[in-house]
Structure 1
């Protein structure tokens, strides 16, 4: 046995100790380190031993069941302590903290406004788009758009489709007298030295999208606006219009409806021209100088456009209801969706020689106009005086590309979409549609700055640059048909930016559900950077902040009319009493026109970028969807009163119709005057509860509020879709909304309760009864939804 004493103690021979030399200065340090290490080791060992001993004692004296009770009681006491002394919070703050959202709602608005206030890039964007041709499918405009989004830090998604679209090869109009050519149109605007874009080598001649190819030589007649009334007057006056070329002036009807009427009344070809008189006060005959010297229309401007029957459908006429994802997709004949006779647009300058030949022929039609030397006689042209109309179009499937930027949100099922089509009619397109493209990019810039601050929106936001807007909302419709089920489930609202800056007067076309949120956003938007005058002030001054009905030819059509997604399109338009006239879809819609006639410093563009972003952010950043139902049903009730009265006048003794009409009137009165107001009040109260602070121990209150919030949001998102019908409107199955659809007889704006209008105009009892029954069922569904 060996004895161990002090520092001389050594282990048995199984351990070998190797001496390590060190200096005298190192010795205390090493000894201290060695002692500290041994002390730490002993401390850890003692701690573990104590824990194990305590566990053994508990195990010995306390069974497992009692031990679990003790742990649970400790947790309850601990949680109760936290609940009693934790800071008070609201549901809003809890949601943002849970999802690591760093910014409050107010801070989000401030950052966005600061980002736009510092600079305005709208001019740079407008110049980039308008300096070269960017028709449907153009790669240059696509590349610029993608580069700009990437420059801001986004990763845009490219979505390609292959619709059937025409590209112009040749258009021509030649006047013959006794087989000799007396005039041949250039089908192009004059080159203006003051506006370099108007002289671009990339200019395209005047043509119509979806016009039939053909060559026609015939006598011609003047048909005024080509309305039903105009043609009835021609027939009453026994003017021979069969197999003639019909000359029609722009206005009153959409070009598609003008073509449909011309075909119906026997036209062999159609020429659509722009009469300066339809510009209102700002014409040369009223003393204004023509562009570029003044605000009046230049007589050589040509208004290109689509002649597809866009009051019936949107998009590719060969793939109705489904997308053209591939070039080889199965296609249907476009019969009934596009014209079958050729057509071309012409300027006031080049139509003059043709119309002068009609003086003294036939009868006078309409209220006159501003075509020099023309007395607005109908014709037909004298025997031997003929027009040779040539229209050669190349129809084929071409590649178009939508550019999509997605900003994910906390609640993924509520997409807010901002869109604009970037293609134009050849060169130019500053007002239509490059102003909207510039505003879309500026809105994106503001949101990119938010993302740099760690922002995550409550609801997702999508920024989309459509292709193929000019022929007939092709890009937006293809997207909608490709993703219809997802959009039905997730889309909350669509904000459109087409033709956003074309005048000085602010106007807004919107679903009434969006009235309140747009007005709120306008209150926080300075008008043209004036800190003392908001856009809302300007809007009130002009029109008492009223909202207009929808238009027809715009990219919100597929969303609103086909899927029931609440949509809006706001912008600055011609005020009709002094604004410079924008020659839409002509080679004079240029950045030079924009800077010399309307918005030299691009302040109107900046105003719209602020409004668009704030509207989207207010929809996104508020926990409760910011829809107000009372204005929605008030508008429907006003329209129904008119149609109800007319139905009773037309069918005075039809008891079945009267009972149905009264039932619809009664339920609509109740919804519009009582239930929608109560529903809105309940939602306003719920919105306040979301902001209310509660102590931690009342966490269950926030759970109940959250459940109510989800239920209310689900109802609000579903509301407009309740009016989507499976079979669509009569003779227009693609148009599925029973409350809003393109006006069937003029085609420039939307009708409210379109099927009742059809029943009244056509005096169709069966149609009236059918749609009264449908509306009654839909309004009953609304009442159930609001309970």
Structure 2
């Protein structure tokens, strides 16, 4: 047997394959992945030989060499435009005063944003809307009535490290679209207030009629905690941020919630978003040229029972006084006390 003139058969195949693959890759770039896989499977590592020229020709995926250069210039210019100092100044102005929805302060924030966008060269138009919103009020309180009267704190304390926390226009914590009223009742703990939590209470024979439900945030949207309680005849709902399970420094020393931070927010649970009285329609001005049919608030299905949020320090005053059976293990929370299902007749 005569020895091969150009080495082994495998070497000859490799020698022939490399220029062939490079040629195919140049003519049909979409074949690059297919042919590269075939070469690797055959034990010949020639992929790098033709991959590098393609990357050099088009460094941005989806662009030709010519358009990639123009795109790179555009992206570099875009990255130069934002200014962290400008963002910081905008945030300082926007957050200088509390501006809950419907307040004059919120209107001023809108005007400011319009001026900023106009200064940036954008065309800005302002459109008025008449939206059904909760009344802004500071008349929101929670009390333990018996056995010993106690006012529960529902406003964050002012911190030296947070200049916003002591603003004179801050309101007591409240949930938008809560029902109005003054109710007193025995306490029932409902874990996260999920559907399955209320069904568990049903299965345990714990009735909610005329009771004040205490539920911790998390597990579902806050509005459904209220809806499921209201469906069972509850008199009211108190929601609270639970203490963290792990020992992490609370704000302002660390990132975790401290015991007085309160989660606000809407509890609206309608099957549409936006203005509750104009489903799937813009809430155009009542006295405008175009009229939009508005629903009667009493027929919309808004919550009718009072709802109030607390921090976990205030909530612990309720939980620590409850005397009923202990809640299941997976209903226990971050506070150093047993979470119980009912408060007993003495606690209201």
TM-score (norm 1): 0.33
Instruction: Give deviations 1:629-660, integer Å, cap 9, x for gaps.
Output: xxxxxxxxxxxxxxxxxxxxxxxxxxxxxxxx
Matched residue, 1:350: 314
Structure 2: distance between partners of 1:336 and 1:344: 21
SS of equivalent residue, structure 1 residue 132: coil
Matched residue, 1:590: none
Equivalent pair of 2:214/2:239 in contact (CA under 8 Å): yes
- Please tell me the root mean square deviation across aligned C-alpha atoms, in Å: 2.3
Give the 5 Å matches for 1:760-775. Answer: none
Matched residue, 1:297: 257
What is the total number of aligned residue pairs between the two structures?
271
SS of equivalent residue, structure 2 residue 74: helix
Equivalent pair of 1:214/1:342 in contact (CA under 8 Å): yes
Instruction: Give deviations 1:154-205, integer Å, cap 9, x for gaps.
Output: 3311121111000332111110115x52x10231001111111111112121
Give the 5 Å matches for 1:167-182. Answer: 167-169=135-137, 170-178=139-147, 181=149
Structure 1: distance between partners of 2:89 and 2:78: 20
Structure 2: distance between partners of 1:106 and 1:370: 51
Matched residue, 1:161: 129
SS of equivalent residue, structure 1 residue 157: coil
- For the pair 1:210 / 2:169, whether they are aligned, the reply is no
- For the pair 1:111 / 2:80, whether they are aligned, the reply is no
Return the offset for 1:337.
4.4
Structure 2: distance between partners of 1:145 and 1:228: 41
The match for 2:197 among 227, 230, 235 is 230
Equivalent pair of 1:275/1:348 in contact (CA under 8 Å): yes
Rg comparison, structure with higher value: 1
Equivalent pair of 2:191/2:197 in contact (CA under 8 Å): yes
Call closer, same or farther: CA 1:316–1:115 in 2, change over 3 Å.
same
Matched residue, 1:193: 160
Call closer, same or farther: CA 1:119–1:384 in 2, change over 3 Å.
closer
Give the 5 Å matches for 1:308-347. Answer: 308-309=268-269, 312-328=271-287, 330-334=293-297, 335=299, 337-347=301-311
Instruction: Give deviations 1:639-682, integer Å, cap 9, x for gaps.
Output: xxxxxxxxxxxxxxxxxxxxxxxxxxxxxxxxxxxxxxxxxxxx
SS of equivalent residue, structure 1 residue 270: strand
Matched residue, 1:595: none
Matched residue, 2:340: 377
Equivalent pair of 1:176/1:384 in contact (CA under 8 Å): no
Return the offset for 1:149.
1.5
Instruction: Give deviations 1:110-134, integer Å, cap 9, x for gaps.
Output: 3222323x76522111111112112
Call closer, same or farther: CA 1:245–1:119 in 2, change over 3 Å.
closer
Equivalent pair of 2:215/2:240 in contact (CA under 8 Å): yes
Structure 2: distance between partners of 1:221 and 1:174: 16
- For the pair 1:141 / 2:109, whether they are aligned, the reply is yes
Matched residue, 2:94: 129
Structure 1: distance between partners of 2:120 and 2:155: 39
Task: From the two aligned structures, give the one with the greater strand fraction.
Answer: 1
Matched residue, 2:55: none
Equivalent pair of 1:131/1:197 in contact (CA under 8 Å): yes
Return the offset for 1:363.
4.0
Structure 2: distance between partners of 1:301 and 1:368: 20
Structure 2: distance between partners of 1:250 and 1:236: 22
Structure 2: distance between partners of 1:304 and 1:351: 15
Call closer, same or farther: CA 1:319–1:289 in 2, change over 3 Å.
same
Structure 2: distance between partners of 1:106 and 1:290: 44
Call closer, same or farther: CA 1:119–1:352 in 2, change over 3 Å.
closer
Structure 2: distance between partners of 1:119 and 1:222: 46
Return the offset for 1:105.
4.8
Return the offset for 1:356.
1.2
Matched residue, 1:251: 218
Equivalent pair of 1:241/1:267 in contact (CA under 8 Å): yes
Return the offset for 1:265.
1.9
Structure 1: distance between partners of 2:334 and 2:180: 30
Call closer, same or farther: CA 1:105–1:154 in 2, change over 3 Å.
same
SS of equivalent residue, structure 2 residue 141: strand
TM-score (norm 2): 0.72
Structure 2: distance between partners of 1:240 and 1:325: 43
Call closer, same or farther: CA 1:119–1:196 in 2, change over 3 Å.
closer
The match for 1:239 among 202, 206, 218 is 206
Return the offset for 1:106.
4.8
Structure 2: distance between partners of 1:314 and 1:302: 24
Return the offset for 1:220.
1.4
Matched residue, 1:362: 325
Equivalent pair of 1:224/1:249 in contact (CA under 8 Å): yes
Return the offset for 1:262.
0.8
Structure 1: distance between partners of 2:70 and 2:100: 42
Task: From the two aligned structures, give the one with the greater helix fraction.
Answer: 1
Equivalent pair of 1:307/1:338 in contact (CA under 8 Å): no
